[in-house]
Amino acid sequence: MRSGVRRSAGRALCAIGCAVLLGGACAGEAVQKEDMADQVASAAWWGDYDELQRLYDAAKASQERMPNGDYVAEQFIVGYARIFNNGEKPNTDAYYAQVEKLTRQWALDHPASSMAQNMYARALYAHAWFVRGGSYAVDVEPQAWAGFKRYIGMAADHLLQHADVVKGDTTTTIYLVMIERAAGATFDFQWAIARDGLRREPDNWGIYTEMAVSALDKWGGTADQLDTVARYAASISTADRAHEIYTRVYLLAAQEYKGATFTKTKANWSELQQGFEAMLARDPGPDVLNSYARMACMAQDKARTRSLLARIGDRLLPQKWGGGDGQRVLDVCAQWARSE
């Protein structure tokens, strides 16, 4: 696609779904890992394929990590997802159709680019969920279900048809797990896909994230499956990283199970503490401390909760204590920790 046509298409895309252009680097600037997601989102809004490919190639080649330990390349996925989660203005079916048209053209113009094929598949996946809506499965209308299944099938078929191009790309691994979960594939089928990617990148948190989601109750998962995901890193990662991934998997589960985390899962408090300590060794800031304190409260470890709250001091972050009711959970835990 010629540059002028590409930018024109991108501006049309921005006009449909974007209230303001997200801040990011201009084409040709060095990749800064701290704002990788912003740079990707900016290039995606403008339909700047060349810049997206440059960012993708640089991130994949660097194997650098973010402060939280994630690969910089995983931030590409975060940034690209923002064009489907526009908080300024609700997206429309016309918006998703425009994204599809643009990314499909990129995929056609760049048949040897795994990024181009992945972006088109991801656009189809996003359109599927727009058509379905966020209702419980029993409340989804038959027509919406049909549209959802059609777009999910198109996404899966596209990646299958371009398997020779996308194989070996762990971004594809992440997207395939997402797509197959939506298609109703078994946990074992998804886990086989995930393990293939983890053999290449043993610490890729994005892969663990998607498999942890697949192991939750709402996706038909079980406590054993969640524990399998949490413990898998121990067989392929360094000790510190394995402990951390174990803990992060259960932190993700805690978003769903909240106070029932230790009754609905096989989370082991002693092992969780090892993970938190590994996380604190790299990032001693309030984000980790607040998450640690919340989990200590759920584990009914009063001494640890009290100690962590003292370390946090005035750096309390209610959002780390659980969704919209975070402040209430924090207040209850703090009162309990102070009690005799």
Per-residue tens of pLDDT for the chain, all 340 residues: 333 444 444 444 443 343 222 333 333 344 566 688 999 999 999 999 999 999 999 888 877 777 777 878 888 999 999 999 865 667 899 999 999 999 999 999 999 999 999 999 999 999 999 999 988 889 999 999 999 999 999 999 999 999 999 999 999 999 999 999 999 999 999 999 999 999 999 989 999 999 999 999 999 999 999 999 999 998 998 888 899 999 999 999 999 999 999 999 999 999 999 999 999 998 899 999 999 999 999 999 999 999 999 999 999 999 999 877 889 999 999 999 999 8
Q: Tokens 């290449």 belong to which residue?
A: 200
Q: Give 27: exposed, middle or buried? Use CB within 10 Å, 0-12, 13-18, 19+.
A: middle
**Residue 54: per-residue pLDDT:** 95
Q: How far apart are CA 110 and CA 117, in angstroms?
A: 8
pTM exceeding 0.85: yes
Q: How far apart are CA 220 and CA 46, in angstroms?
A: 39
Mapped onto helix, strand or coil, the DSSP state of residue 65 is strand
Tokens coding 115: 């990024």
Query: Contacts for 10-16 with beta carbons within 8 Å, 24 or more apart?
Result: 10/45, 10/46, 10/47, 10/48, 10/102, 11/46, 11/47, 12/98, 13/45, 13/47, 13/83, 13/95, 13/98, 13/99, 13/102, 14/45, 14/46, 14/47, 16/92, 16/94, 16/95, 16/98
CA 8 to chain centre: 30
Q: How far apart are CA 203 and CA 64, in angstroms?
A: 12
**Residue 89: per-residue pLDDT:** 64
Torsion of CA 30, 32, 36, 40, to 10 degrees: -20
Q: How far apart are CA 12 and CA 202, in angstroms?
A: 40
Q: How far apart are CA 99 and CA 95, in angstroms?
A: 6
**Residue 26: per-residue pLDDT:** 35
**Residue 58: per-residue pLDDT:** 87
**Residue 237: per-residue pLDDT:** 87
